[in-house]
C-alpha cells in the first residue's frame, strides 16, 4: 500500500452495509492491505461509539486493529511488530485529531452513548435518516486514514535492545490469544497509540471476547446492544478502577514514548488490571 493508491469511493456504502464505524474502518484498511479477516472485522463492532460510551471513535479502534494485523505480517510476529503497531496507531490518532480536534466519539457526534436516551436517539437518526456527521466524517477521513497508516507502517523503528511491550497485548496473551491477535491489539497501548484516552487494554479484552463469539457463530453479527460479555468486562474493569476509564488517570501519568510505556508495564504497572481483564 502507498499514498498514490486511489482513495476509496464506497466508504458511505460500506458503512451502511457493515453497520458500525469500527468494523467499517477495519474492513477498509484491510482491503487496502489485501488481507480481509471477516471474523476479526465483525468482532470490532462493539467498539463503535467509543465502546458505546463516547470514548475514542470506533474508526480509530478499527483502524488500529488493521495496522496491527499488517504489522504482524510485515515482521512475522516478531518483537518489532509491537512497536510498529503502536507507531502506526500514533499516526492514525494524530491524523484523526487534526481533523476532528478530539479522539472521542462524544465530542465528534455530540452524543454521550453512556446515556441510553442519547444512544437510542442517535441510532434512530443513523437507521432512519443516516446520520450525516458520521457518514461524512468517514468519507473525509478514510483516505487520510489510509495515508496515515501507510506512513506509520513505513516508519523505521529505532534500534533498541529493549523489547517493546503493549498493555493490550499482555491482556491478549493472558486471554489465550494467538500471536496474530496479540499483535493486532498492540496499538491500543496507553489509551490507543499512547494518547492517554480510554484504556486500550479494555478495548482489547472486549474485542477478543467478541472474536471468540464470532468464531462460534459463523456469519452472524455479534450483539451490539446489551452485549452480556462486553458488559461483564466493563463491570469488572470499572470495579478495579473505581469507574475511571482514562488511561492517563488510571496510570497516574502519560507515556511520551514506547520505551516509557514498556518500562511501566515491565515494572508491574497495571498488573492487577491486566489480570482482571484477562479473567
Tens digit of pLDDT for each residue in 239-253? 999 999 999 999 999
Domain for residue 163, yes or no?
yes
4 lies in some domain: no
- The answer to whether position 34 is within a domain reads yes
HEC per residue, 113-171: CCCHHHHHHHHHHHHHHCCHHHHHHHHHHHHHHHHHHHHHHCCCCCCCCCCCCCHHHHH
63: nearest Cα among 156, 166, 149, 174:
149
Q: Is residue 5 part of a domain?
A: no
Given a contact cutoff of 8 angstroms between Cβ atoms, the answer to whether 273 and 250 are in contact is: yes
**pLDDT tens-place string over residues 50-86:** 998 999 999 999 999 999 999 999 988 778 999 999 9
Gap between the Cα atoms of 57 and 137, Å rounded:
11
Query: pLDDT tens digits, residue range 116-140?
Result: 676 667 666 655 555 557 889 999 9
pLDDT at 161: 65
- Across the chain, the runs of DSSP E, i.e. the strands, are none
Structural domain range at position 59: 11-278
**165 in any annotated domain:** yes
Q: How confident is the model at residue 101 (pLDDT cuts 50, 70, 90)?
A: very high
The count of structural domains within the chain is: 1
In a domain, 3, yes or no: no
In tens, the pLDDT along 2-51 reads: 444 556 889 999 998 998 999 999 999 999 999 999 999 999 999 999 99
Residue 6 in any domain: the answer is no
Q: Is residue 229 part of a domain?
A: yes
The pLDDT value given to residue 160: 60
Amino acid at each position: 500500500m502507498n499514498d498514490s493508491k486511489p482513495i476509496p469511493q464506497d466508504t458511505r456504502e460500506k458503512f451502511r452495509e457493515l453497520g458500525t464505524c469500527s468494523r467499517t474502518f477495519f474492513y477498509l484498511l484491510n482491503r487496502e492491505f489485501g488481507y480481509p479477516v471477516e471474523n476479526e472485522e465483525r468482532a470490532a463492532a462493539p467498539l463503535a461509539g467509543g465502546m458505546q460510551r463516547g470514548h475514542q471513535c470506533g474508526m480509530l479502534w478499527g483502524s488500529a486493529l488493521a495496522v496491527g494485523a499488517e504489522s504482524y505480517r510485515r515482521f512475522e510476529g516478531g518483537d518489532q511488530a509491537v512497536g510498529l503497531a503502536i507507531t502506526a496507531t500514533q499516526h492514525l490518532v494524530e491524523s484523526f485529531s487534526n481533523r476532528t480536534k478530539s479522539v472521542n466519539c462524544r465530542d465528534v457526534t455530540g452524543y454521550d452513548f453512556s446515556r441510553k436516551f442519547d444512544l437510542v436517539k442517535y441510532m434512530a437518526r443513523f437507521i432512519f435518516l443516516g446520520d450525516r456527521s458520521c457518514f461524512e466524517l468517514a468519507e473525509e477521513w478514510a483516505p487520510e486514514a489510509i495515508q496515515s497508516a501507510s506512513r506509520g507502517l513505513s516508519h523505521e523503528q529505532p534500534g533498541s535492545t529493549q523489547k517493546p511491550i503493549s498493555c493490550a497485548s499482555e491482556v491478549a496473551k493472558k486471554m489465550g490469544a494467538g500471536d496474530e491477535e496479540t499483535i493486532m491489539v498492540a496499538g491500543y497501548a496507553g489509551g490507543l497509540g499512547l494518547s492517554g484516552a480510554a484504556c486500550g487494554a479494555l478495548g482489547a479484552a472486549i474485542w477478543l471476547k467478541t472474536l471468540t463469539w464470532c468464531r462460534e457463530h459463523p456469519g452472524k453479527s455479534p450483539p451490539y446492544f446489551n452485549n452480556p460479555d462486553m458488559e461483564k468486562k466493563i463491570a469488572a474493569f470499572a470495579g478495579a478502577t473505581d469507574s475511571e476509564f482514562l488511561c492517563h488517570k488510571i496510570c497516574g501519568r502519560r507515556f511520551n514514548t514506547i520505551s516509557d510505556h514498556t518500562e511501566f508495564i515491565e515494572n508491574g504497572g497495571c498488573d492487577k488490571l491486566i489480570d482482571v481483564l484477562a479473567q
